[in-house]
């Protein structure tokens, strides 16, 4: 039972480089989310998707892009990495939600450092 | 907007001590409330939840009661173990569903043998 799988687990980037954080889920969930977690802070929503082909901005979308071509996959793209994007990134998914009654399932995270 | 406030950590307790981690929230409407736990190097796992006022969520000896009158959802456990050492996050879902959870900053709990 894989759940939500994120790759890579760790990555170091140089300023200005680009990369894609991968996220896939095998629970056939419609909703998927990307969060970032900074030290001593809670998680902040970057982008979310309510289904294939549909994405929307969260609280902190600047510097990121997403796509959702399939139900299973929700990659997060950093085009020009900046030190402020050093963080731990979590992908999550949940079923179609009725009044928020369904909890989100989280991946193990990607620890990203921009130097 | 929505917000969640948790007590600052780290919280250090001895094994078998009583635990309370305070959580209060601000939200429009009638949110669902959650406690998530994060063990070192892992993602967040749902610990318990409550979806309406006066509901009590419970799991693994942890409990939290949804108090609408005090806008609180405090986490409690009667006797903690070393294995409970982790970071605990209080979160809410405002009910719209699509725009994700609002998290508190997390409380680092350290249990000493």
Residue A102 has pLDDT above 80, yes or no: no
Per-residue pLDDT, A4: 94
Size of interface A-B (CB pairs under 8 A): 70
Looking at chain A, which runs of residues are DSSP E strands?
4-7, 10-13, 19-25, 31-37, 43-51, 54-57, 64-66, 76-78, 87-94, 105-106, 110-114
Residue A100 has pLDDT above 60, yes or no: no
- Mean pLDDT, chain A, as a whole number? 91
In chain B, what residues touch A41 (CB-CB under 8 Å)? Answer: 105-106
Token digits of residue A23: 């996220």
* Confidence label for B96 from pLDDT (cuts 50, 70 and 90): low
Per-residue pLDDT, B19: 97
Q: Give the span between the Cα atoms of A32 and A46, in whole angstroms.
A: 11
CA A12 to chain centre: 17
Mean pLDDT of A50-79: 94
Q: Write out pLDDT tens, residues B34-83.
A: 999 999 888 899 999 998 899 999 999 999 999 999 999 999 999 999 99
**CA within 13 Å, CB half, A69:** 3
Asked which of A9-18, A41-50, B57-66 is least confident by mean pLDDT, the reply is A41-50
Residue B21 backbone phi and psi in degrees, to 5: -120, 115
Q: Which residue has the higher pLDDT, B110 or B7?
A: B110
Per-residue pLDDT, A1: 65
Coil, strand or helix: which one is B99? coil
Q: How far is CA B110 from CA B75, B80, B82, in A?
A: 15, 10, 8
In chain B, what residues touch A56 (CB-CB under 8 Å)? Answer: 98-99
- The answer to whether the CB atoms of B42 and A108 lie below 8 A apart is yes
Per-residue pLDDT, A107: 93
Per-residue pLDDT, A28: 92
Residue A99 has pLDDT above 60, yes or no: no
Q: Give the span between the Cα atoms of A74 and A24, in whole angstroms.
A: 6
Stretch 19-58 of chain B: residues touching chain A, C-beta under 8 Å = 31-32, 34, 36, 41-46, 49, 51
Closest CA to A48 of A31, A62, A23, A36: A31
Q: Write out pLDDT tens, residues B10-29.
A: 999 999 999 999 999 998 87
Asked if the C-beta of B1 comes within 8 angstroms of chain A's C-beta atoms, the answer is no
In chain B, what residues touch A97 (CB-CB under 8 Å)? Answer: 93, 97-98
pLDDT cut 90: percent of chain B above it? 73
């Amino acid at each position: 039972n894989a759940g939500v799988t994120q790759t890579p687990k760790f990555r170091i980037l140089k300023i200005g480089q680009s990369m894609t954080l991968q996220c896939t889920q095998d629970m056939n969930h419609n909703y998927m989310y990307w969060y970032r977690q900074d030290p001593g802070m809670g998680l902040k929503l970057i982008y979310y998707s309510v289904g294939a082909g549909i994405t929307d901005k969260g609280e902190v979308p600047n510097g990121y892009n997403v796509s959702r071509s399939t139900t299973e996959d929700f990659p997060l793209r950093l085009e020009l990495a900046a030190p402020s994007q050093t963080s731990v990134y979590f992908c999550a998914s949940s079923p179609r939600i009725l009044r928020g009654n369904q909890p989100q399932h989280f991946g193990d995270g990607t620890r990203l450092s921009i130097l | 907007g929505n917000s969640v406030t948790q007590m600052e950590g780290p919280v250090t307790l001895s094994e078998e001590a009583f635990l309370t981690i305070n959580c209060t929230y601000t939200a429009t409407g009638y949110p669902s409330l959650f406690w998530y736990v994060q063990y070192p190097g892992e993602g967040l796992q749902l610990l318990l939840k409550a979806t309406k006022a006066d509901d009590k969520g419970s799991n693994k000896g942890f409990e939290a009661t949804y108090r609408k009158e005090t806008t609180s959802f405090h986490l409690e456990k009667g006797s903690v173990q070393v294995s409970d050492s982790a970071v605990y996050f209080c979160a809410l879902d405002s009910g719209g569903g699509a725009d994700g959870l609002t998290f508190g900053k997390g409380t680092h709990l350290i249990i000493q043998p």
